[in-house]
Amino acid sequence: GNSVTQMEGPVTLSEEAFLTINCTYTATGYPSLFWYVQYPGEGLQLLLKATKADDKGSNKGFEATYRKETTSFHLEKGSVQVSDSAVYFCALSDPIQAGTALIFGKGTTLSVSS
Amino acid sequence: GAVVSQHPSWVICKSGTSVKIECRSLDFQATTMFWYRQFPKQSLMLMATSNEGSKATYEQGVEKDKFLINHASLTLSTLTVTSAHPEDSSFYICSARDQGYTNTGELFFGEGSRLTVL
């Protein structure tokens, strides 16, 4: 079945450091891929998305490229800020059953210190 | 983007009572909404899929009689935790799909509802 695997956290960085959070997926067909962010005590917000191979999603300095050959969608940011501290979820949509819920990874906690 | 709102954002209740959580799509019609439960170590567990005008579809292991889901209109789904017990304490999050985003599969999430059962 479809699944998402993302790196275990927590990830602890200093301000302005480079961030990578790995995400790989298993799916039949061509899913859309997403990164969601959850700030403490809040729901999830869409950070970026990519709907087909080689697409690059970007938002707020974060980027992720849909790599079909490696079934990956790694999240990157060149210079993190304290305000980026949150939990990040990688997710995919079932490419066969369009009306179904997203499939999420377990989440990675990012903690950025000044 | 589309906006989904949950209410209440937090609730404390006594063991044995029932609690209702509302999920509203504010600027779009949602024929399908999803209820998730988030455990302390972050993971999101899909509880059920709520379809407007029909019975909800529950995931394996989720008690239908404990977690009652009603989706009476295109903008409102409710989750009622019946006879709540301390082990039901959790963060419950709803999400909805705007039909305009069907092709991408994107979901819009509510703010979440923190339930604490004493």
Distance, in angstroms, between A45 CA and closest chain B CA? 7
Rounded Cα distance between A31 and A74, Å, is 15
Please enumerate in sequence order all residues whose Cβ is within 8 A of that of A84, keeping only pairs 6 or more positions apart, or say none.
A19, A77, A110, A112
Confidence tier at B21 by pLDDT (50, 70, 90): very high
Confidence tier at B102 by pLDDT (50, 70, 90): low
Under an 8 A CB cutoff, do B43 and A107 touch? yes
**Closest partner residue to A93 among B6, B93, B104, by Cβ?**
B104
Under an 8 A CB cutoff, do A36 and B102 touch? no
Spell out, as residue ranges, where chain A has pLDDT lower than 50: none
Confidence tier at B101 by pLDDT (50, 70, 90): low
Question: What's the whole-number mean pLDDT along residues B27-54?
Answer: 87
Segment B56-93, tens digit of pLDDT: 999 999 999 999 999 988 899 999 999 999 999 999 99
B111 touches chain A (CB under 8 A): yes
Residue that the structure tokens 């819920």 belong to: A101
